[in-house]
Amino acid sequence: MAYKPPFTISEKTVNLVADIMELITRIILKEVDVINPKLRRNNRIKTIQASLAIENNSLSLEQVTAIINGKRVLGPGQDIREVQNAYEAYEKLLDLNPYHIDSLLTAHKLLMDDLTKESGKFRSGGVGIFAGEQLVHMAPPAHLVREQIEQLIHWSKTSDVHPLIKSCVFHYEFEFIHPFTDGNGRIGRMWQTLILYKWKKIFGWLPVESMIKERQDEYYKVFGVCDKAADSKLFIDFLLQAIYDSLLELEQTEQVGVQVTEQVIKLLSVMGSMPLSNNELMNLVGIKHRPTFRKNYLLPAMEHGFIEMTIPDKPNSSKQKYVKVKDL
């Protein structure tokens, strides 16, 4: 009998799929699916930082951005290597085949190179999923891993289940099998992205991981509940909600794009070649409310690569200044 993962499609699942499809259609009609290169890059960096943070990487978004931009950052060596590996893996991800086991092993090799002795190989021993120090799930024995992954990939390739649901089921089942010594969460989230990208290109640069990171405790809790119930329904709904919220955020970002651009233009117009402090920049653009300035002027300019911090490895330093590195 062909392998079929145990999951239930609830009314909530159906409604979430319908809402996501409506939102995707709305975004495509606005031609937002042709995401501009700057937004692609920014979303990719957000994805990497969030996915690694879920696995206890300590680096901030600013530090991750600096590393990817080739800047020197002070931080734990392993955390820095995780960022470098993740960036290389995501750069090659969209060219991989989500239904080919060799592609999966290639991605793991890129992601975990020099971080585990078994990078690019299925685990040789037992492993479990932990939320802090609490064991959430004990994975199947190592000798069953390859067969179970082959069955899961075959099901994913041949099933007529809606791609949105299929990607969530794959994510859950992948974490249940836990095929690698380390990096399972990162690969599971990455592979869901790849499955969805092969269906709709917009998912290649949608930072769903950021939404998962904000709900990290629930992420592990729901997995534990589904594990005991032998049904991934709640995990599917959790991930579909994260996908919907990410798409909604993307649509809203595009809607305010003109406003943000005008504010960035104003900030760049008052900056010369000399580094300036946060307060100096606020005075030049005539903004007194620090959070407003940071959200609408400073962060968008940094995300688009127009200005950089003079001390990127210490983003909260009292001596921090900002310098313009390129014009519009």
Degrees (nearest 5) of the Cα angle 18, 23, 25? 95
The confidence score (pLDDT) of residue 260 equals: 53
Q: Taking a C-beta distance cutoff of 8 angstroms, is the pair 220, 254 a contact?
A: no
Mean local confidence (pLDDT), 133-152: 91
Catalytic residue, chosen from 108, 171, 178, 304, is 178
pLDDT higher at 21 or 303: 21
Ligand-binding site membership of 219 (annotated):
yes
Q: Is 187 annotated as a binding residue?
A: yes
What's the rounded mean pLDDT across residues 296-309? 88
278 labeled part of a ligand binding site:
no
Best CA proximity match to 225, nearest among 155, 131, 125:
131
182 among the known binding-site residues?
yes
- Is 297 annotated for ligand binding? no
Q: Tell me: is residue 183 an annotated ligand-binding position.
A: yes
User: Does residue 189 have a known ligand-binding role?
Assistant: yes
The reply to whether 185 sits in an annotated binding site is yes
pLDDT of residue 265: 87
pLDDT tens for 78-91 read 999 999 999 999 99
- Cα–Cα distance between 192 and 232 in angstroms, integer? 15
Q: What gap in Å lies between CA 108 and CA 171, rounded to an integer?
A: 15
| pLDDT tens digit sequence for 201-256 | 989 989 999 999 999 999 999 999 999 999 999 999 999 999 999 999 888 765 54
Rounded to whole angstroms, the Cα distance separating 86 from 177 reads 22
In the chain, list all ranges with CATH 1.10.10.10.
257-324
Q: What is the CATH number of domain 11-255?
A: 1.10.3290.10
Strand, helix or coil at 27?
A: helix
257-324: in CATH 3.30.70.980: no
Q: pLDDT tens-digit profile of 244-297?
A: 999 998 887 655 444 456 888 889 999 998 999 999 999 999 999 988 899 889
The question of whether 178 is a catalytic residue gets the answer yes
Task: State percent of the chain over pLDDT 90.
Answer: 71
Contacts 24+ apart (CB under 8 A), 128-137: 128/178, 129/175, 129/178, 129/184, 129/220, 129/223, 131/217, 131/220, 131/221, 131/224, 136/220, 136/223, 136/224, 136/227, 137/175, 137/176, 137/178, 137/223, 137/224, 137/227
| Domain span(s) for CATH 1.10.3290.10 in the chain | 11-255
Task: Note the pLDDT of residue 146.
Answer: 97
pLDDT in tens, 114-142: 999 999 999 999 887 777 778 777 889 99
- Closest by CA position to 308, among listed 91, 70, 74: 70
> Taking 80 as the threshold, does the pLDDT of residue 96 lie above it?
yes
pLDDT score for 258: 44
